[in-house]
Amino acid sequence: MYLRAGLGFTALVKLVHFASATVTDPTILDACPGYNVQNVSSSGANFTADLVLAGKACNVFGEDIEQLKLELTYETKDRIHLKITDPSNARFEVPETVLPRPQADDSVSPDSATIKFNYTESPFSFSIYRTSTEEILFSTASHTLIFEPQYLRVKTNLPPDANLYGLGEHTDSFRLPTHNYTRTFWSRDAYGVPNNTNLYGNHPVYFEHRNTGTHGVFLLNSNGMDVKINDTESTGMTLEYNVIGGVLDFYFLAGSESDPVELARQYAKVVGAPAEVPYWSFGLHQCRFGYHDFVDVAGVISNYSAAQIPLETMWTDIGTRSPHIPLDHANTQVFCADYMYKRRVFTLDPYYFPLDRMREIVDYLHAHDQRYIVMTDPAVAYVSGEDYGAYERGTDADIWMKAANGSSPFLGLVWPGVTVFPDWFNEKTQEYWTNEIKLFYDPDTGLDIDGVWIDMNEPASFCNYPCTDPFAQAEEQDLPPARATLPPDHDTPIFGNAQSRNRKRVDHSHDDVQNPPYAIANAAGTGALSDKTAYTDAIHANGLIEYDTHNIYGTMMSTATREAMLARRPGQRTLIITRSTFAGAGAHVGKWLGDNLSQWYQLRESLSGILGMASVYQVPMVGADICGFGDNTTETLCARWALAGAFYPFMRNHNGDTSISQEFYRWPTVAQAARNALDIRYRLIDYIYTAFHQAHADGTPVLNPLWYKFPKDANTFGIDTQFFFGDSILVSPVVEENVTSVRVYYPEEAFYDFFDLSRTYYQGGATVDLNDVNFTSIPLSIKGGAVLPLREKGAMTTTELRKTDFELVVAPALDGTASGTLYLDDGISLEPASTTTVSFTYQDKKLTVEGSFGHPTDVNVARVRFADVQSKPQNVKLNGNAVEEGKIAFDSERGVLDVSLAIPFTEGFTIEYQ
């Protein structure tokens, strides 16, 4: 136990310091003296003050800092930036190179702000309230501020049964629990993605939704922390930040009283709007942790084609036995294979994955309009004298993260055994990383990859704490493991008959960075901050240490990798999928949700996971491993997951080496489910591609929880097994085992069955049981008010899809109107030479299509489908001219009017009926 003088004995017995977490009696912390306000200065949008310790120091987890600096700025009419620092000592702040700060609007004044700051002088507390209603959104009243070298505490009151979302990454419900609940922020390798623990990434932002509006709070701090939400205290429901370093750097976002999506846009202005991704990235991706060799990989590609299941991108994982999983794991087959030589990054195994045969596979994929991606980890094997270029060049450039002594590299334990880690703060590291990617992935001499998959970038290490001898632990854990199969004949035929197979230095000299006095609830290993990762005292080139920078290591690697790929293919978008993220990562990369399990409950939890990333954290290119990564899937689970996963923005089937194979073609039911789901997905790709373009422009979410669209309907606040794909497609997957029904909530609006356009409406909203949902189908509905631009049919590749005609679906809202947009470009350029932007407006039985057609579509509008048509129309007109009777079809039972057009999609037009 680590306590300082000044805390009385009665308090001592109420503080419990566990090996993995510290539990405190909140009354003890609230009894600390806090600070008084002095030297207030206010000028326009800016407010500053000194905060001086108000009484005898509490010294709960260190010595209270006697004087602080408060700085506040009304940056926009909807955003307040509040910062509390120690003016006498440099403390770590997230560098602007990692997360650039938003610009303030100099014309803003407090009088024009939609939220305002108020404070009490003694002891200091503050509140943020909505200007129009004076409703308090954030208040530290009754909860004193604590600011110590390794402990910062801010606590706000909440309304009863608060609707809170965010504070990721986690696998808990989308609407956060509020009873004795802790969210811990400390990146870790989290096999099985367990509930109620810290996982791979850190996004310390929450959205709170009330009937009166939606607002957000973002704490820009990358140090370890616990955020505690509780409803059992005498002061009512509270949310408490317990941070073990850095500064208090808050952004308060006004959001909106009527439209929650506006809050998402405001957050995007702080952390950056998402990067645009290539058109092809919305196709199906396939990977396996355990493909034996090049023949195995080629066989998978061939088998997808033979099964008529569209495969856009083939991936190769590292593919060796995971130290997380025992060798005697029941009912599994252990593969010890991967594309690398001795598991070393930027290498190929010359026997199992020889360069010439792998280039043949990549050439085959590209010739068939498909793509290839491999895994790239941060850890580099610590070997010398073995002609391992990635290690030798990094050593020559001196770009490895250093041990606490500041001279020798910090050593960890990852797939290739003992490893070193690139230091992303070193000014030479970007050049090193760009060069390694350029050399290994050279189109003429190496693997001509189309994107990069990043794993283990928390950074993860398999070394058990204390890691005093990583070499001995490497032997104990058999890293790297030997191959378990013989290599194939180099000349084995493939594709014809293959079978599947710098700043002022922060002084931590007086801090205990290995075991800080306040212990966050880290779930890795023993709970020590350095367990299963780089040591917290590992040093970066600029003097910073991992204690402060740990949670941004993954995002820094992701950004460096994106820059390297942009240098490799200048002017082209790339796809980077990473595991560890921090706030702002979506501006550079996408993410998969990590090493999940083939369990029904994890299918359900994946939906809240993608909602968090896409609708709150601004990381919309997100998906979970479809059918599950660990354990063995089943035919019905994999079928249901293929159907639900078709509505992840990033769609990939991926599983582990100790599990059975689960490519979609392995079971008849799964194969048909995949074909059905992918046909729908591919028809919708231009719709979601348009949504991504809008997200890149202003942060509008590409996925929406139901309450984003129906913010006054309390029934929607807790729903996380239904969501909107884009603005208008309501996805309601079956996520329970051995059932063919699903309970669906329809808010008060017209909804249309995606397949037959039949209309559903329940006044006031209703929960409905949908029955007879077989294992190859998924309930989909179109929210009234949408005009959807769909491809007429799916295709085997996205290249082929772009040659397929469009059809327009008009699904009117209750007021009889509908609208939509379509954005097209070449699908790959960062700055396209030409674009097409089309708007669709429907009113009074007339659809108007207009826009700019700079980028050639090279296809037709095949037909227009009108839903909710009450009777057969007397006439239909295209641009004022009557349409032939033979081109008109009316379904009186469902109220659907189909008009065949087959006109070039090169200009606007109108179509109306009477």
Active site (catalytic) residues: 455, 458, 595
Helix ranges (H only) for 1-155 are: 9-12, 26-30
- Beta-carbon contacts of residue 111 (< 8 Å; ≥ 6 apart): none
How many CB atoms lie under 10 A from the CB of residue 545? 22
Q: Taking a C-beta distance cutoff of 8 angstroms, is the pair 690, 821 a contact?
A: yes
CB burial class (10 A; 0-12, 13-18, 19+) of residue 871? exposed
Cα dihedral 134, 135, 137, 140 sign = positive
Q: Extract the tokens encoding 864.
A: 């227009």
Q: Taking a C-beta distance cutoff of 8 angstroms, is the pair 399, 426 a contact?
A: yes
Q: Taking a C-beta distance cutoff of 8 angstroms, is the pair 140, 120 a contact?
A: no
Residue located via tokens 């623990």 = 197
Outline where DSSP puts E strands in 518-587: 575-578
ω before 33 within 30° of 0 (cis)?
A: no
Partners of residue 268 on adjacent β-strands: none
Q: Taking a C-beta distance cutoff of 8 angstroms, is the pair 577, 451 a contact?
A: yes
Partners of residue 559 on adjacent β-strands: none
Q: How far is CA 639 from the centre of its chain?
A: 24
Residue 743 in 3-state DSSP?
strand
- Beta-carbon contacts of residue 542 (< 8 Å; ≥ 6 apart): 425, 426, 502, 503
The amino acid that residue 867 corresponds to is: A
- Beta-carbon contacts of residue 529 (< 8 Å; ≥ 6 apart): 186, 224, 513, 514, 515, 516, 520, 522, 536, 547, 550
Outline where DSSP puts E strands in 224-378: 225-230, 238-243, 248-256, 285-286, 313-316, 371-376
Q: Which long-range contacts (CB under 8 A, 24 or more apart) does 462-465 make?
A: 462/323, 462/412, 462/413, 462/414, 462/532, 463/412, 463/413, 463/532, 464/525, 464/531, 464/532, 465/525, 465/526, 465/528, 465/530, 465/531, 465/532
Cα dihedral 124, 127, 131, 134 sign = negative
The amino acid that residue 206 corresponds to is: Y
| Ramachandran assignment for 246, one of left (phi > 0), alpha (psi -120 to 50 degrees), beta (any other) | left
CB burial class (10 A; 0-12, 13-18, 19+) of residue 360? middle
In whole angstroms, what is the distance from residue 640 CA to residue 629 CA? Answer: 15
Residue 51 in 3-state DSSP?
strand
Q: Taking a C-beta distance cutoff of 8 angstroms, is the pair 291, 317 a contact?
A: yes
Q: Extract the tokens encoding 775.
A: 């294992």
ω before 459 within 30° of 0 (cis)?
A: yes
In whole angstroms, what is the distance from residue 500 CA to residue 519 CA? Answer: 49
- Beta-carbon contacts of residue 64 (< 8 Å; ≥ 6 apart): 32, 33, 53, 57, 58, 146, 147, 148
How many CB atoms lie under 10 A from the CB of residue 457? 27
Provide Rg for the chain, Cα atoms: 28
